Chain A
Amino acid sequence: MSNGKIISQEPIIELKHIDKHFGSLHVLKDINLTVHKGEVVVIIGPSGSGKSTLCRTINRLETIDSGEIVIDGSVMPKEGKKLAELRSQIGMVFQSFNLFAHKTILDNVTIAPRDVLKKSKREAEEEAMQLLKRVGVDSQAGKVPAQLSGGQQQRVAIARSLAMHPKAILFDEPTSALDPEMIGEVLDVMTELARDGMTMVIVTHEMNFARRVADRVIFMDGGSILEEAAPEEFFAAPKTQRARDFLNSLGDRESRS
């Protein structure tokens, strides 16, 4: 494995034979994926290949047609209390931040611990302030999301996820909606999380970042996982033609811009 990191063999997320359609579109085709504790898995692939859908099925924001999702040994049910409980164990960071627009930054971080984990206001706020400090936005605690920059909002979103002490966090293109000068501050926070041993599944187009933090790279196209390899291996010598084309197209884009 890369980074000289030792990854346990304890599975946190297991996807078994996942199939999903959007109408007639077969968007996920027999997906099998296991993410171990402390592992950072980066999913890359062309637009429309099903990366977001895969990410969203993990905590059942999307339903599946068939297959099984197992979170830390528990099969994810279709609905009910158990589903909510398992969802609370998996954090999710969205491309568009999705901070609660009517709540202050502090309340954004405390609402779930108070509502779901039944923490006291004081306890939740103390921890929230620590988390906000960790992501560098503690000075903004009293503001509402609209008053923050995109980079700050996304860091708050990460703190909001962390407040639930998740077993893993899913990131769906967390920097795609950001101005270029703000991408770094969010990737820094994520790099730090990876270093601290957080289990992470990250959909991203930031290849340098992927190279740096990934323990494993997944390449998706047309709803299937086509390749799965350590980053140095994948980026140096992709096995499939489609992955080569994809990496070339990215190279073109970067050299053009």
Chain B
Amino acid sequence: MNGAHASIRDVLYDAPGPKAKRRIAFVTVISLLALAALLAAIVRRFYVTGQLDPKYWSIFLRYTTWRFIGRGLLGTLQVAAASSVLAFAAGMLLMMARVCRYRVLNAIATFIIELSRGIPTLLFIYFFFLLAPQFGLQLPSFWRITLPVSISAMGVTAEALRSGVNAVPRGQTEAAVSLGMRSASVFFKIVFPQGFRYVIPTLISEMVIVFKDTTYAYVVNYADLMQNAKVLISNYDALLAVYLVVAVIYIVINYLINKLAATVERRTRAAVAAAK
């Protein structure tokens, strides 16, 4: 592989020769034409049904529309941030319980992790939204979305952290132990900091999942981006316009998170490679 930028494509295929290059050019042109045709068909469809009418788009010329979208985005970001922090904290505890020396804790942590990973987020949301109130647990809507999203993400987080910790060479622990360090010190000062570095990119990628899960906020009537978009749609009937704008916002944010993950991955990979 040629260095840090080798992709799976470079691994699977040889560098293209002249014949392959012609074929690639051909496929590229055909794909672009097909894509253009598809887009044209879609736009035509919207035109016919009147979705391109200026009255649906003029709302985006108004400051209040953007302020409303901005409030929704802020709500989304708050839930995403709180969920990420909670999922990390809970994931950390679960990981430690899973690797510690007490069998009971190992088993309990494994069980919780499997539940967290195996149950869809929506089910956790229904639990806090529909079931919990019957037992007298009345939560504000912020927590009705944040808790289930965190619970849904903590299992994956725990497993990511565990894979990092397991990847730290045994010799690191042995060296620390033979210097007389106790197990808590060995874990927190030697093993965890290294294992954590290995999985930073994975953890950031998981933030994308958390971020997408926040769109369930509409189920619990929490004013996130999605919820406010729905309000706009029902007020102005501007289905296409609003969804398009909101989709672009989600794409941009997830793109930024992925970009961050890629940057961090490149850096940590360089650091890990240098450490070997």
Measured CB to CB, the residues of A under 8 A from B are: 59, 61, 81, 84-85, 87-92, 94, 96, 98-102, 111-112, 115-116, 144-147, 157, 160-161, 164
Complex Cα distance A164/B181, Å? 11
Q: Which residues of A contact B182 (CB under 8 A)?
A: 81, 84
A94 partner, pick from B171, B190, B193, beta carbons under 8 A: B171
Known: A111-B189, A146-B276. A101 touches B178 (CB 8 A): no
Q: Is the CB of B274 within 8 A of A100?
A: no
**Which chain A residue shows the least CB distance to B190?**
A100
Contact between A92 and B175, CB atoms less than 8 A apart: yes
CA distance A91 to B178 in the complex (A): 7
Q: Which residue of A lies closest to B171 (CB)?
A: A98
Contacting residues, chain A, for B194 (C-beta < 8 A)? 101-102
With A100-B190, A144-B275 known as contacts, the answer to whether A160 contacts B174 (CB < 8 A) is: no
Q: Are A98 and B179 in contact (CB under 8 A)?
A: no
User: Are A116 and B172 interface neighbours, CB within 8 A?
Assistant: no
- Name the CB-closest residue of B to A100: B190
Known: A100-B172, A102-B193, A146-B275. A61 touches B181 (CB 8 A): no
B 164-194 contacts with A by CB, 8 A: 169, 171-172, 174-182, 185, 189-190, 193-194
Interface residue B71 (Cβ < 8 Å from any Cβ of A) = no
In the bound complex, CA of A116 to CA of B185 (Å): 9
Nearest CB in chain B to that of A99: its residue? B175
B273 vs chain A, min Cβ distance (A): 9
- Contact (Cβ within 8 A) B180 A100: no
Partner of A112, one of B169, B180, B274, B276: B180
Min CB gap A232→B, angstroms: 32
Contact B275 A101 (CB under 8 A): yes
Is the beta-carbon distance between A87 and B171 smaller than 8 angstroms? no
The closest CB in chain B to the CB of A89 belongs to B180
**Do A112 and B181 touch across chains, with their CB atoms under 8 A apart?**
yes
15 contacts between A and B (CB under 8 A): A61-B174, A61-B177, A84-B180, A87-B177, A94-B171, A98-B169, A101-B194, A111-B181, A112-B180, A112-B181, A116-B181, A116-B185, A144-B274, A146-B275, A146-B276
